[in-house]
Amino acid sequence: MRYMTAGESHGKGITAILDGMPANLYVDKDEINRELKRRMLGYGRGGRMKIESDEVEIVSGIRGGFTTGAPITLFIKNRDYENWSNIIGADATELGKKTVTKVRPGHADLSGCIKYAQSDARNILERASARETAARVAVGAVCKILLKELGIIIGSHVVEICGVKSGYRYSSVEEIIEKSDESDVRCIDATAAEKMRAAIDIAVKNGDTAGGVVEVVAAGMPVGIGSHTAYDRKLDYIVSGHMMSVQSVKCVEIGLGRGYAERYGSEVHDEIFIKDGAVFRETNNAGGIEGGISNGEDIVVRCTLKPIPTLMKGLRSIDLITREPVKAEPERSDYCATPAGGVVLEAALAFALASAITDTLGGDHIDELKARAEQKRTAENGSR
Amino acid sequence: MRYMTAGESHGKGITAILDGMPANLYVDKDEINRELKRRMLGYGRGGRMKIESDEVEIVSGIRGGFTTGAPITLFIKNRDYENWSNIIGADATELGKKTVTKVRPGHADLSGCIKYAQSDARNILERASARETAARVAVGAVCKILLKELGIIIGSHVVEICGVKSGYRYSSVEEIIEKSDESDVRCIDATAAEKMRAAIDIAVKNGDTAGGVVEVVAAGMPVGIGSHTAYDRKLDYIVSGHMMSVQSVKCVEIGLGRGYAERYGSEVHDEIFIKDGAVFRETNNAGGIEGGISNGEDIVVRCTLKPIPTLMKGLRSIDLITREPVKAEPERSDYCATPAGGVVLEAALAFALASAITDTLGGDHIDELKARAEQKRTAENGSR
Amino acid sequence: MRYMTAGESHGKGITAILDGMPANLYVDKDEINRELKRRMLGYGRGGRMKIESDEVEIVSGIRGGFTTGAPITLFIKNRDYENWSNIIGADATELGKKTVTKVRPGHADLSGCIKYAQSDARNILERASARETAARVAVGAVCKILLKELGIIIGSHVVEICGVKSGYRYSSVEEIIEKSDESDVRCIDATAAEKMRAAIDIAVKNGDTAGGVVEVVAAGMPVGIGSHTAYDRKLDYIVSGHMMSVQSVKCVEIGLGRGYAERYGSEVHDEIFIKDGAVFRETNNAGGIEGGISNGEDIVVRCTLKPIPTLMKGLRSIDLITREPVKAEPERSDYCATPAGGVVLEAALAFALASAITDTLGGDHIDELKARAEQKRTAENGSR
Amino acid sequence: MRYMTAGESHGKGITAILDGMPANLYVDKDEINRELKRRMLGYGRGGRMKIESDEVEIVSGIRGGFTTGAPITLFIKNRDYENWSNIIGADATELGKKTVTKVRPGHADLSGCIKYAQSDARNILERASARETAARVAVGAVCKILLKELGIIIGSHVVEICGVKSGYRYSSVEEIIEKSDESDVRCIDATAAEKMRAAIDIAVKNGDTAGGVVEVVAAGMPVGIGSHTAYDRKLDYIVSGHMMSVQSVKCVEIGLGRGYAERYGSEVHDEIFIKDGAVFRETNNAGGIEGGISNGEDIVVRCTLKPIPTLMKGLRSIDLITREPVKAEPERSDYCATPAGGVVLEAALAFALASAITDTLGGDHIDELKARAEQKRTAENGSR
């Protein structure tokens, strides 16, 4: 399975092509739209979100609701393109408008202009924008539908915003899914949520921004996805790249993650038990991956998102043309994207897992894949 | 650039094939051996290290000291293979010896036996073993030689072991390189180093193990490596996969990493300044990567290594055959691999960067690549 | 450089995402449309071509005519989608219409239905259709624009149709480009062209189809693209895959190709000469590739296209549902696609070469790439 | 599945790493050696073959005869390395010996020296040499063992040498396997074989070389391998690259190949019949691939090998250093490699098919893969 995305923040729209989906999977478009809507919510969003009532257009690969095995094209229109077409479009003539030369620290603006020999950072930021995550969410939504058929569900919740930590420890992914979206900061610990909102309020007041940490969890994975045999077939290799590539993410933790550095081995490794023939663990510090292979426990990944680097108060920077010190351009942006970031990271994990599963199991159509996943789920160690 | 590794812990040896190195690079074999030696040191190593006085054999791709553009084969012999040949070799007949059925939590043992239908976890652990990192260090050593020609150097130091944190903040990679290896825990803060050793001593005494955190830093990167345009061309996507795939790593942080969640945007973004025409930043929280592109600052990556899951005291587990509760097999192992882990992670970063650089710059031979890197290093934003 | 295509023959349209184009390349949309138009011409086309007055929509990656380094989305609308939307669309409800169960030999119909567990071959043929080549032509057109900037031009002409052979031997690619499109069978030998038309007429009369051979040539390649060092970096590996994957192609020849089997080595190898310091060859049987590397001579590839397997007269086959012998479905189709096939194969070669060039040279923007290509073009062997 | 090869013609040896083999496959080393031996035979071989009594060393991935899922390292020692070590080795000091500056037309010599900035073509030709095919044959031998378990067998025979055509049309792959190796030109038509030998004798007498055509056939493929949905997932895309990348190959034909250009569609397409519920075809012009998907018929690929470009009589060329016209270096070589080429091409096809099969079916261990191949073999079209 593979996918590519394309499209600019103020261009016609965002396109994704997703290749390798098994045939005969029923894809409910409303499910994709529901995920796109989830991506737009959250406390501390800027003006952009108000104009982004995204809806997916399925351009190919699905007929009468079912996949055919052909590549799926997902298109999400940018609603304000009409105002931008002559500035940003392929045939645009007003390239001198909306130029960005006061490059924003923390973004690709400056490095991008150097790499690609540009003098207008608009040519960089339009693509670097987190607007691209709309495509990733749409792709992830289709992957979630596939995973659900295989008995795998994914949820996320916010565990930290600007230093405020959630006290919630999850007991089941169902619970996460049920409860996190009830909170506008997507934090299940109500008291912490209150403080998070307060921290965001301060950011809003000061023209500042706030980052945070999201925990993403997948339940129902069969044992044996990924492999210990080659560094780039390890499930954690695959997962970490997809998560780290989401805009703003600067830290990826599997399971206990950073916490592994603080305790002795005997305190953190997940011991293995057996009862009535059933193998189980009582803890899951490994986050469902041992030796690069899924072990059947929940996949647990925590990602830290930096505060969005576009500040209304303006960071000190330079102007590309005048080479003078300036305040960086304040493009319209959010104050805190962490709650919505969780939705994007669910999508990133969904693709990573769906892709790793089909790499391991193949599967031309959904019945075939379901049967193989079931076999894998019930497999015991071999007799050789 | 790409590489594959192969080989088992007690097999004939470990092989790597590294493809895509520019021609005419002088590769000093002693440099590779020096890195292999560094990998074997560190406080808290087990018996294995004593028999591992690794030396690389260059089987192909280098003639009279210089690369030819052909794939480079690096072979590292396992010194005790003669004792294992009839147990582990391709023609082995004593497969019933040295079997491992008391699967070790935290390793690939159990999941690997299920995935690959094995009843002897030896068939899994021999490949899952961190012995494989010898190949990665050899590959990384060649990459380091390339990077050095391009003005890029890499160092690492231990910033935490079992909860003991180093107070050292690096000022230059040269300093890290010079000082970290002077400490047997590879920690530059002498007081912290003392405490780290004490923490490891406790692990040794208790048949336990300790994890930690390593900071790996690369200086001298040109601006413009990686790209913001596609998720899988982002430099952080590339780097994080390589780092996370190193045995025991459970957390990868770029720059400030986890710390981004604790402060407002105005406190953490690296502002941009200009003086006498030269652009610079005073901070480097981004760890040298903005928007998926190198920005010319040091690349800073911090990785958390879990405590090695092979404990002399034995964790609770099951026996694959009897299906009874047992203490897990105590294969010979280390008490703390974090100091040496830094050496492996330097290698992983070296490959990631060398690979990203040649993806961006091409380069059939070293003079060509050097000239292009130099052009890139002095490039300013374009005039379009 | 990489690209993906998506879309069905009667769906909304065909999408391509092309990633890795250098920035600052001027892309004239008319050039793309001109290529799309060339693809639709040729003697012996069926009704489909009449409704296919394709025009490309550039959805992303190009601003005011210039590339930005971002992925380029190219969309080509299917003009009769409105008549098909409720049959073929994502939300279609009339799935029972236009079903195809009388599977056509020579197509993916039967094998596709088995692989993807379908009972309506419509779900296979819509994607397997050569309609997909519209996207490949659009992608190739952008690649041609890039190549032209680098001094590389590509042309093609028909050398055989249904046993009628062209007597034309090309002297320059310019000549091919100039003359081949003047003929509606794209054959430069006028007498042969006459006979080809007659052969096609017979096919039309009999409800039959005709295949042929196309020669595709690229002039201006720098020396040193591709590599002898790894099987999958050989330029002929790369080129042959792209050519063979074009619908109907069953044979790919580089240079003298099949003819190499008929003569002794001394008769066919291209001897090397030098005059006034300039190295040259008087023949080009190698087709510009020696040892997997471009040698500076024209790249010459000949591809055989089978007769289109959709025959008005109907081939003997089976019905998927009734399991009875039937005549295969006569979907609307062409009588001879070889002339247009040359246009598609030019596009396939353009991508293969552009991709191999940027793999070797890198190049973030067009000036950088041009300078590197120029260096490569004037390079002599080294002094090591 | 993937593999890399490395090693020079006169270096220590040739290494291959093959990754992705299912576990629990019994690999008989004698089978690999038997294939290596087949590669060395044939009428018209030069002196090199006499010193090449190759034997494989299995360095990793196989224990007691069985695969473990870990990457397999195959090493084939170069028997005359001791005489070359100080000329070609990593530590060689006599780099001035055995230099090649009289570059040979038809080889990578000249283009390689330009690309990689070399002045001694030895640094190119050592890797470009067909010696590398020893590794490919070893890899292919392992793939053949896998395929055999899945009921797939591969054979080849020579259909043309230097214009002499075999009259043999195969009826079964078993027959090819049985009969072709009985002939020292691997031609099953005894009369043609006689003439082929005569043609080779002329080449030997004149210090010349002869090329030819090989037909490679695989029987037993399940339906549904490859895909029509994406150009680079088509089975013919995959197969053609692997075949074309074999040294000397300049033409790849699938099924009727070039012959498709000569007849009408109604004469060449393989009609589909059904009898007692069983679907079958009476012809196989498609060579087992329709629309990029295997259709269950034999996979038939014909490859043309050019005459080896190293001629004892010497071709006209230049000297890299003096820039004077010279006769090209006559490195030791064969007069006709086509018979042995068939063995290499069997290996290339074996990898291509094994790889495509595991891409489609997954399969961590051989029982799993066998069961899935069997399901696929008996699958009918779906009911959706």
Tens digits of per-residue pLDDT, A44-72?
787 655 555 899 999 999 999 999 999 99
Question: Are the C-beta atoms of D144 and D321 separated by less than 8 Å?
Answer: no
pLDDT higher than threshold 70 for residue A40: yes
Contact B382 C365 (CB under 8 A): yes
pTM to 2 decimal places: 0.97
If DSSP states are collapsed to H, E and C, what string results for D13-35? EEEEEEECCCECCECCHHHHHHH
> Can you state the angle between helices B366-378 and C366-378, rounded to 10 degrees?
150
- Inter-chain contacts counted by CB atoms under 8 A, chains B and D: 163
Rg (CA), chain B: 22
Q: CA-to-CA distance for B47 and B56, rounded, in angstroms?
A: 21
Contact A382 D359 (CB under 8 A): no
Q: Hey, what amino acid is at A92?
A: A
Q: Hey, what amino acid is at C380?
A: E
pLDDT under 70 in chain B at which residues? 47-52, 331-332, 383-384
CA distance to partner chain B, nearest, from residue C24 (Å): 7
**Per-residue confidence (pLDDT) for residue D224, from 0 to 100:** 96
Residues of A with Cβ-Cβ distance to D229 under 8 angstroms: 19, 69-71
Q: CA-to-CA distance for B106 and A292, rounded, in angstroms?
A: 10
**Residue D384 — very low, low, confident or very high, per pLDDT cuts 50/70/90?**
low
CA distance to partner chain B, nearest, from residue A64 (Å): 31
C-alpha distance across the termini of chain D, in Å: 31
Over range D366-380, report the average pLDDT: 92
> Residue D199 CA to chain centroid, in angstroms?
23
Number of Cβ within a 10 Å radius of residue A53: 11
- Give residues 105 to 124 of C whose Cβ lies within 8 Å of D: 105-120, 123-124
**Per-residue confidence (pLDDT) for residue B380, from 0 to 100:** 80
Q: CA-to-CA distance for D381 and C117, rounded, in angstroms?
A: 5
Q: CA-to-CA distance for A52 and A47, rounded, in angstroms?
A: 9
CA distance to partner chain C, nearest, from residue B260 (Å): 28
Number of Cβ within a 10 Å radius of residue A97: 12
Q: Is C207 left (phi over 0), alpha (psi -120 to 50) or beta?
A: left
CA distance to partner chain B, nearest, from residue A103 (Å): 9
Residue for token digits 């147990």? B87
**Residue D173 — very low, low, confident or very high, per pLDDT cuts 50/70/90?**
very high
Number of Cβ within a 10 Å radius of residue A191: 12
Number of Cβ within a 10 Å radius of residue C62: 25
Per-chain mean pLDDT for chain A: 95
D16 φ, ψ (degrees, to nearest 5): -130, 140
Question: Are the C-beta atoms of D236 and D292 separated by less than 8 Å?
Answer: yes
Among B2, B3, B17, B25, most D C-beta atoms within 10 A, so best to mutate, is B17
Per-chain mean pLDDT for chain D: 95
Over range A134-159, report the average pLDDT: 98
Contact A258 B251 (CB under 8 A): yes
Contact C325 D274 (CB under 8 A): yes
Contact B108 A281 (CB under 8 A): no
C-alpha distance across the termini of chain C, in Å: 31
- Touching subunits of C (3+ CB pairs, under 8 Å) are A, B, D
The structure tokens listed for D29 are 């080393």
Question: Are the C-beta atoms of B331 and B314 separated by less than 8 Å?
Answer: no
**Per-residue confidence (pLDDT) for residue A168, from 0 to 100:** 97
Q: CA-to-CA distance for A166 and A193, rounded, in angstroms?
A: 7
**Per-residue confidence (pLDDT) for residue B300, from 0 to 100:** 98
In a structure prediction context, what are the per-residue pLDDT tens digits for chain C, which is 384 residues long?
Answer: 999 999 999 999 999 999 999 999 999 999 999 999 999 988 978 765 555 589 999 999 999 999 999 999 999 999 999 999 999 999 999 999 999 999 999 999 999 999 999 999 999 999 999 999 999 999 999 999 999 999 999 999 999 999 999 999 999 999 999 999 999 999 999 999 999 999 999 999 999 999 999 999 999 999 999 999 999 999 999 999 999 999 999 999 999 999 999 999 999 999 999 999 899 999 999 999 999 999 999 999 999 999 999 888 889 999 999 999 999 987 667 899 999 999 999 999 999 999 999 999 999 999 999 999 999 888 887 765
Number of Cβ within a 10 Å radius of residue C184: 16
Q: CA-to-CA distance for C78 and C82, rounded, in angstroms?
A: 9
CATH topology assigned to domain B100-379 = Chorismate synthase, AroC fold (3.60.150)
Name B17's bridge partners. B4, B73
Helix (H) or strand (E) holding D197: helix D190-205
**Per-residue confidence (pLDDT) for residue B69, from 0 to 100:** 98
Contact B73 D115 (CB under 8 A): no
Per-residue buried b or exposed e for A196-209, using 16+ beta carbons within 10 Å of the residue's own CB: bbebbeebbeeebb
The reply to whether D379 touches chain C by the CB within 8 Å rule is yes
The structure tokens listed for B363 are 């380069």
B83 φ, ψ (degrees, to nearest 5): -80, -15
The reply to whether B71 touches chain C by the CB within 8 Å rule is yes
Pairing of strands D72-77, D56-60: antiparallel
The string of pLDDT tens digits covering residues D330-363 is 766 789 999 999 999 999 999 999 999 999 999 9
The structure tokens listed for D172 are 């079964």
**Per-residue confidence (pLDDT) for residue B156, from 0 to 100:** 98
Residues of C with Cβ-Cβ distance to B360 under 8 angstroms: 362, 364
Among A25, A358, A360, A368, most D C-beta atoms within 10 A, so best to mutate, is A368
pLDDT higher than threshold 70 for residue D55: yes
CA distance to partner chain D, nearest, from residue C313 (Å): 8
Per-residue buried b or exposed e for B227-242, using 16+ beta carbons within 10 Å of the residue's own CB: bbbbbbbbbbbbbbbb
> Residue A257 CA to chain centroid, in angstroms?
18
Q: Give C56's contacts (C-beta < 8 A, 6+ positions apart).
A: C29, C32, C33, C36, C74, C75, C76, C138
The string of pLDDT tens digits covering residues D189-207 is 999 999 999 999 999 999 9
Q: CA-to-CA distance for A295 and A272, rounded, in angstroms?
A: 11
**Per-residue confidence (pLDDT) for residue B317, from 0 to 100:** 97
- Touching subunits of A (3+ CB pairs, under 8 Å) are B, C, D
For residue D63, give the nearest of B58, B90, B112 by CB distance.
Answer: B90
Residues of A with Cβ-Cβ distance to D359 under 8 angstroms: 362
- Give residues 349 to 368 of C whose Cβ lies within 8 Å of A: 364-365, 367-368
From start to end of chain B, where are the E strands?
Answer: 2-6, 13-19, 56-60, 62-63, 66-67, 72-77, 153-161, 164-165, 212-219, 249-254, 272-275, 278-281, 289-290, 293-294, 299-305, 316-318, 325-327
Over range D233-254, report the average pLDDT: 98
Residues of C with Cβ-Cβ distance to D309 under 8 angstroms: 265, 269
Query: Nearest-CA residue of chain A relative to C86?
Result: A64
- Give residues 197 to 216 of B whose Cβ lies within 8 Å of A: 202-203, 206, 208-213
Ordered DSSP codes for D115-141: HTT-S-THHHHHHHSGGGHHHHHHHHH
Q: CA-to-CA distance for A156 and A300, rounded, in angstroms?
A: 10
Contact B362 C358 (CB under 8 A): yes
The structure tokens listed for C198 are 């007659």
